Structure formats: C-alpha cells, structure tokens
Structure 1
Amino acid sequence: MYQDFFELNEKAFGNTPDPKFLFPSRQHQEALARLEYVIEEKGMAMITGDIGTGKTTLSRALIDSMDERYKPILLLNPRFAPAQFLRMLAQKMDLTPKKLKSDLIDQIQDRLFSYYENNTIPVVIMDEAQLIPGKSFFDEIRLLTNFQLDHTNLISVILIGQPELAKRLQHHAYAALNQRITIRFHLRPLDEQDILEYLQFRWKVAGGSAERFPFNETSINKIYAYSGGVPRLINLLATTCLIDALSKGVAEISAAMVDQQADDIGLLPNPANIGKQHGRHGRSAQAR
C-alpha cells in the first residue's frame, strides 16, 4: 500500500499496540516509570485513560521492559465470572486448575510461594478492567494482594481501564481494594506541541526519511483539531490521508485532504483546537 510509495519499512500509523511505536511523551515516560516501580515493589497500580490514549500500548511496553525475573500474566477483556478469573490465572501460571475454589486458591498460593523461592515476580496486568462485571470479581483481585510474607508481597497487580474504573473504585464498597492501590496515573490526549513530534517519531520508527515526511504545518494543525490529540484518532487520520496521497500520486498531505478524510470518518473539529498550532510547524521543523 502506501508503504512502498513513501519508502517505509512498515505501516507508520497502525493501531496495534506495538511497544516500539510508544511515543515517549513526558506523561507516557512518567507512567512507564511508575509502573516499573510498582512491579519492582510488588505493589498494585491503576492506569486510566480515555479510549485511544495509549493504555494498551503502554502495558506492552512495560512487558517489553521486564527482564527474566518477571512473569507477566496478561488478561484481556475480563468479562467473566470470578471463578473463571481464578481458573484462567492458574492456567497462566502453568497449572491445571483444581475444581473446588478452596483447592484452587491453595494451588495459586503455592505457586506464588514457588515463584518467590525462585526469585520470580508474577505481574498480573488486567486490561479493559472497567469491564469487570461485579464486586465479587474485584474481591478476588484483592485476595491476590493478601498473598504475602512478613516483609514482601508475592505478586504485582496492574489494572488498566477507562476513567469509569477509577470512579467505580471510589465507591465505599471498594474501599478495601482502593486503599491497596499505591500508584495511580491518568493518561490524557497529547498536547498540541506533541503532535509534530508524535508524527515524526512514528514515521522514523517505520523507516521513513525526513525528506519524505508528508505532513506540513496546516495539515498537522488540522489533524490536531480533528483528533484532539488522541493517538488512535491521529493514527486513523494519518493512515487515511496517506492512502489518499497514494491514490492521488502526491507526496505532501494538504489541509484539504485532512478535511476530506475527517469528513469521511465522521470526525468534527474542535473549534478550541483550530489554529492553536499556527506558526509552530514549518517544513523546516520536519527535517529536524
């Protein structure tokens, strides 16, 4: 597709959570540093953010950063019963789950002690945690944090979800779990000054050259206006614009092309974002 036309090694603006494409903005670096601290201390963390702000990509970058001491246990889309959660956790720990819950819990606890004796730190990462169906499920998560020795915990737990996760856990019914969360971080959309660097970063990672970078000042301004700085929307707009540029045989993406693609997708510009970047992004900036 457009990769050959723009001399890229791969897609620059895909929406898969490839950790090498995690843009090192200040907030993403801070979030990653906090998560690395939590798993080192075998604590509990909660990362929230609106749809498309890079939560899942951040979790993959965390897994990529782990050395052989850690055993990441990634659980996606947790819309299942508490008993299913424990069984899945046991399977992720390379166990054959027992049928009775009491036996299953003992089985998991024994495995955690075995990990400790072998200097292994299990890290449970639960993505889309706002989908957890009920309090009883959260109670099982809290149970995991009860597995500890006098001087250390035996497991790290990271909850990742949309903002309603944090609101939900503020309810007094979840106080016991909420109090165990030592690190909290909320991912926000990118700032306006980050947009050019974000596009350039992903372009470079995909093997693109500065000379073939197709976005100019006005098209970047439009991308920010339509996306609001949400990385997933930036990627969507950038991809459709590159495809449009390929079909037209042009090397530069204009503001009009962004307008057309945004209209096709159904995105409306935020008036507060229009024109904020005027004067920030010239063609000379693209070669830096």
Structure 2
Amino acid sequence: MYLYHFGIKELPFTLTPNTSYFFGLPSHKEAIQVLLTALRTGEGFIKVTGEVGTGKTLICRKLLNELPQHFVAAYIPNPYLTPSELRRAVASELNVVLTDHADQQEFTQRIQQRLIQIHHENKGVALIIDEAQALPVESIEALRLITNLETESRKLLQVVLFGQPELNDKLALPELRQLKQRVTFSYSLQIMDADQVYQYVKHRMNVAGYRGGDLFDRKCCSLLYKASKGTPRIVNVLCHKALMLAYGEGTQKITPLHIKLSIRDTEAANQTSNILLASSIGILVMMLSFSIAYFAWSGFEI
C-alpha cells in the first residue's frame, strides 16, 4: 500500500496488538507495574479493566513477555467457555492430560498434582484471561474453585483478569461475591490526552521506520484526539485512513482535511467538523483506485 511512499517497512497502525509498538503510556506502564508487583507478592486474583480499544490485549501480551522466569504462564484469550471447557483449557495450557469424560474430581486431582510439581520447582503459575467479561457466571465460579488449591503459605495458582468495564458489573453479582472479595489488586486503564496522542502517533511511525519530518502535526493530532477521545484503537484507524488519503494524492504530509475525511468515514469516531468537501467514502475509494492503478503502471506489487 503506502509503505514505499512514506519510506516505512511495515504498516504502523494495524489493529493487531504488537508489543514492538508498545508506547509506554503512563496508564499502561502503571498497569504493568501493578500486575508484576501483585504476582510477585502471591496475590490470588488481579483485575485490569478498560474500555474497548484502550490496549488491554497489548498489555496482556506485554505481561506474558515480561513475566519473571520463575512463573509458568497459562493464557486463555477467548474465555466464552462452559465450566468444563474452561477446566480443559486450563489443563491444556499446563500440559495436563485429562480423559475424555473427566469430571470435576479428576480435573482437581490432576491439576493439583501439576501445580504442586511446579511449586516444588520453585515456580509459580499465572493464569491470564483476556476478555474476561465474556466468562459465563458458572465458569467464573468454576475458576474460583480452581484457585482454592494452595499450600499453607501461598496460592498455587494466581489469576489475572483483563476485561471491559462490564467485568466489574458481573463480579458485583451476589452469586460472585466470594470471588470479588479475592480480587486484591485492580487497575483501570485511562485514555490518552492530546499530547499523548501526538507522541503516540509519532512513536508508531518511528517504529515502522519513518525518518521524515513531522508527518502528523499537532493540529492533526488535536483532531485525532477530539474524534477518538484518546482511544488508541480509534486513533490507529483514523491514522491508517489518513495515510491512505495522502498516499492516493501523492503528498508527503498529512493535513487536517485528511483527518476530517477519515473521521467522516469512521463510524466509531466522533464528528468534529461539518466543513467537509465531499463524501469521504467516495474519496477513499477513488484514492485507493488511483493508487492501485499507479502501482500497476509502475510495476510494483501491492
């Protein structure tokens, strides 16, 4: 697409969480520190919540990369699981083999044996669950029962829950009050302010290999901030579209008009300006068509 045009080696604003692009926003760094501190002190349940697009999965993967060596990690990215499916997923992550018709008793025995084995190796186990708000209530209760496994001095299994604010509502249900009492560390992710949006966009362009001038100036980033309310995912979407527009025009600088057209074309963004010259959807299609035709004529592969 626009890689050659801007002299970058990869797309800088993809929605796939990539730890090489971790910017280290204050909120993100604090969350990592809270998580590592809680795990080192042996806490049972740790919870991180944030609105959609605020970087929970990125922090989750960053945590997996930075876990101390004496931890064994079990990662469950899609937790919409029945209690039985959840138990099997945990067992699989910890290399525990269950029979085809394993019940709660067999699971408990085999998991406990595995956790004790890991404990004797002077290691801990961190079960990390992303999108935890999707866990059914029955599965959350099954999760609590799993964490009952402990020695006289510490938990054999620690659980980190990443979720949207709906997770707080679910844990507030009367039938889950026992688990809620076990959540000893919590952290809520914050969105970016206007200056952080500017630094964030600049950082991602630099990581992608951009070495030119200020491609997204502060005026453009102010529009990005107002439209996205500081949500990283929406900033990524808008920047990607703005780069496509500039590339289609053959220009080397992002302008406020590019940002406004990107906002107009993005349902999740807030409309901040009514001064738009044309339908941005049509313009995006037109610019992309020009780009494809140009590359085909030049002999480049898209």
TM-score relative to the length of structure 2? 0.85
Q: Which of residues 118, 131, 135 in structure 1 aligns to 2:134?
A: 131
Pairing 1:1-288 to 2, within 5 Å after superposition = 1-43=1-43, 44-98=45-99, 99-134=102-137, 136-209=138-211, 211-266=212-267, 267-269=269-271
Q: What stretches of structure 2 of length at least 5 have no aligned partner?
A: 274-302
SS in 2 for 1:68: coil
Larger C-alpha radius of gyration, 1 or 2?
A: 2
SS in 1 for 2:265: helix
Aligned to 1:276: none
Conservation of the 8 A alpha-carbon contact between 2:108 and 2:146: no
Conservation of the 8 A alpha-carbon contact between 1:56 and 1:127: yes
AA matched with 1:89: V
Deviations 1:18-50 (A, max 9, x none): 112122111111000001112222322111111
- In the alignment, the residues of structure 1 paired with residue 19 and residue 261 of structure 2 have an alpha-carbon distance, to the nearest angstrom, of 30
Q: What stretches of structure 1 of length at least 5 have no aligned partner?
A: 272-288
Aligned length, in residue pairs: 269
- In the alignment, the residues of structure 1 paired with residue 182 and residue 48 of structure 2 have an alpha-carbon distance, to the nearest angstrom, of 14
Conservation of the 8 A alpha-carbon contact between 1:47 and 1:184: yes
- In the alignment, the residues of structure 2 paired with residue 112 and residue 54 of structure 1 have an alpha-carbon distance, to the nearest angstrom, of 31
TM-score relative to the length of structure 1? 0.89
The percent of aligned pairs where both chains have the same amino acid is: 28
Conservation of the 8 A alpha-carbon contact between 1:20 and 1:61: no
What's the CA shift for 1:153? 1.3
Deviations 1:191-240 (A, max 9, x none): 1221111111112222222x344112221111111111000000000011
Conservation of the 8 A alpha-carbon contact between 1:228 and 1:270: no
What's the CA shift for 1:270? 5.7
Conservation of the 8 A alpha-carbon contact between 2:220 and 2:255: yes
Conservation of the 8 A alpha-carbon contact between 2:202 and 2:216: no
What's the CA shift for 1:145? 2.1
**What is the RMSD of the two structures over their aligned residues, measured on CA atoms?**
1.5
What's the CA shift for 1:125? 0.8
Conservation of the 8 A alpha-carbon contact between 1:203 and 1:213: no
What's the CA shift for 1:97? 1.3
AA matched with 1:50: E
